């Protein structure tokens, strides 16, 4: 089981690289567009991209369903709030 977790974390690195690139460039909360949203844009804390980074670092690609569930819950009708990965 430990080998599967380590392989899962290893396979998560390309996804982490894409998310970190997004955060540094296009993200309205973290990147260059932050000047247009000085108080933040995301209604969740941590933001969806931060949430994805935390899950990928701890669980690897095994945590992808958890990330997809979080992103799917980010709709205009949601209230947002604090949602730490478990």
Cα distance between residue 56 and residue 64, in whole Å? 8
Largest CA distance in the chain: 45
Domain locations in the chain as residue ranges? 2-82
Q: Which of 34-48, 50-64, 69-83 has the highest mean pLDDT?
A: 50-64
Q: pLDDT value at position 14? A: 94
For the entire predicted model, the pTM comes to 0.85
Q: pLDDT value at position 6? A: 84
Cα distance between residue 51 and residue 64, in whole Å? 11
What DSSP state is assigned to residue 46? S
Share of residues in the chain with pLDDT > 70 (%): 100
Residue 66 has pLDDT above 90, yes or no: yes
Closest CA relative to residue 33, chosen from 43, 21, 25, 42: 25
């Amino acid at each position: 089981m430990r080998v599967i977790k380590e392989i899962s974390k290893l396979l998560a690195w390309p996804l982490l690289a894409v998310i970190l690139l997004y955060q540094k460039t296009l993200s309205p909360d973290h990147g260059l567009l932050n000047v247009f949203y000085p108080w933040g844009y995301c209604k969740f804390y941590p933001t969806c991209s931060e949430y994805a980074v935390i899950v990928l670092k701890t669980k690897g690609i095994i945590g992808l369903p958890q990330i997809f569930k979080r992103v799917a819950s980010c709709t205009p009708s949601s209230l947002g709030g604090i949602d730490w990965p478990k």
